[in-house]
Amino acid sequence: MIVREQFYIGGQWVAPGGSETIEVHRAGDGAVMGRVPAGTAKDIDAAVRAARAALEAWSALPVAERAAFLQKISDGLKARAEELAKTIAQEVGMPIRMAARIQAGLPIANFANYARIAGEFKFEERVGNSLVVREPVGVVGAITPWNYPLHQIALKVAPALAAGCTVVLKPSEVAPFNSFILAEVIAAAGLPKGVFNLVTGLGQTVGEALVGHPQVDMISFTGSTRAGKRISEVAANTVKRLALELGGKSASVILEDSDLAAAVKSTVGNCYLNSGQTCTALTRMLVPESKYAEAAKIAAEVAGGFTVGDPLAETTKLGPLSSAAQLERVRGYIRKGQQEGAELLAGGADAPEGVPAGGYYVKPTVFGKVKPGSTLEQEEVFGPVLSIVTYRDEEDAIRIANDTPYGLAGAVWSKDEARAQRVARRIRAGQIDVNGGAFNMNAPFGGFKQSGHGREAGVYGLEEFLEYKSLQLKG
């Protein structure tokens, strides 16, 4: 049992204002793996006040010193990488080998990357008779999800600290233990008191209190579009800056001249990453009508190769979902797809065989002949469920790809690179993989439409936490 009984506020571990706790369950078998405090508005107020008190000194600290702290945090996380991977694998369900590379590896890399970026960034420049300076936006409230918990924390906390902001973090109650490890690393790094603060709890209590607090200057949120809309409503009362990274329903557009086998295999693998619990997952595979039968056969075969099992087992390729609620949600979408007449090519709503009892496991699922506009084609499932949609021609494919409320990610496949890029430019989404192009941690990450606004990662993520100021100079 992992039991956390205190919050990290003002550079100290302090008792929460209330006595309520939240149980955290292991994804692999459903058992309780520990508990954390359920914070209150009083706890958030204490954390915000600590962040506000620390802001002036931290923002005035030379950027090189802020960068040095970020590197210390990266080094501290690296020293605990094995512990982080095992913790997050149990919280979220990602297989341990992948969790080591992604769930632990990416946060370590991002803190180090922002140490570098901060040292290279131009915080001021002369424009005519004006000196244009970039200053920290102020106190930042960071609200993060459970699917890539520490990675999403790092993409907010690291650039915010680099910019000179102070932070109050509210992590997901589904996967909170990794954030306590981060707080311990930050304390060991000697970060000045109040610069980073951690409060756990439920969205409707501590989340609302953080978003509505008048001393918070900005909210950076990653999560559902529904929650993002609520945050926008509450934040409007104090005219806060918002950065929202929300849902997605990304299309992989496979053009008729592509390497079909390679495109289908890559799309299925992307869809099933982290058991489909990825906001950028390519959950819609668009194929020409003439290629449907072949694409369906390949997709079903690839899905069959995803071994479902305990996330701590080295042989597992597809781990469980993160929670009982998530399991029921995904199974509900699978049943809905069948009710709407989609062709079930692989998987289904029944529990997989040979998996640990009590775990949140779902079969890797592929639906064919999914109709544009159907529930399965329009709504974010957040599980290992791929929908194959056919199109008539290139124009039809682009129309279908763009015809959802979301615009977070996508992919285009063609042996003609120029054609692939031309189609990619017409898809209204924040990042498009062209012929399997790799993830780039320095490229901007974020969406169009109801996938949110603002960008994370690289220098673009740093800029989100900065304000412009013009000093009009004489002579």
CATH, residue 139: 3.40.605.10
Residue 168, domain member (yes or no): yes
Segments forming the whole domain that contains residue 312: 251-440
Residue 321, domain member (yes or no): yes
279 is catalytic: yes
> Do both 41 and 13 map to the same domain?
yes
* Whether the predicted model's global pTM rises above the 0.95 cut: yes
CB 420 within 8 A of CB 404: no
Closest CA to 462 of 111, 178, 24: 111
Cα separation, 456 vs 459, whole angstroms: 8
Cα separation, 184 vs 393, whole angstroms: 55
Residue 446, domain member (yes or no): no
CATH, residue 395: 3.40.309.10
> Do both 208 and 270 map to the same domain?
no
> Do both 229 and 274 map to the same domain?
no
CB-CB neighbours of 131 under 10 Å: 14
Closest CA to 108 of 469, 464, 454, 441: 441
> Do both 418 and 456 map to the same domain?
no
Count how many domains the chain has.
Answer: 2
Residue 112, domain member (yes or no): yes
Which one from 91, 173, 245, 464 is the annotated catalytic residue? 245
pLDDT tens digits for the chain (475 residues)?
A: 999 999 999 999 999 999 999 999 999 999 999 999 999 999 999 999 999 999 999 999 999 999 999 999 999 999 999 999 999 999 999 999 999 999 999 999 999 999 999 999 999 999 999 999 999 999 999 999 999 999 999 999 999 999 999 999 999 999 999 999 999 999 999 999 999 999 999 999 999 999 999 999 999 999 999 999 999 999 999 999 999 999 999 999 999 999 999 999 999 999 999 999 999 999 999 999 999 999 999 999 999 999 999 999 999 999 999 999 999 999 999 999 999 999 999 999 999 999 999 999 999 999 999 999 999 999 999 999 999 999 999 999 999 999 999 999 999 999 999 999 999 999 999 999 999 999 999 999 999 999 999 999 999 999 999 999 999 999 7
Q: How far is CA 179 from the centre of its chain?
A: 15
> Do both 171 and 268 map to the same domain?
no
Q: Report the run of H or E that residue 337 belongs to, with start and end.
A: helix 324-339
395 is catalytic: no
| DSSP-assigned states of every residue in 170-225 | E--SSS-HHHHHHHHHHHHHTPPTTSEEE----IIIIIHHHHH-TT--EEEEES-H
> Do both 270 and 403 map to the same domain?
yes
> Do both 336 and 233 map to the same domain?
no
Residue 445, domain member (yes or no): no
> Do both 195 and 289 map to the same domain?
no
Which one from 91, 165, 173, 279 is the annotated catalytic residue? 279
> Do both 403 and 312 map to the same domain?
yes
**262 Cβ neighbours under 8 A, 6+ residues apart:** 413, 436
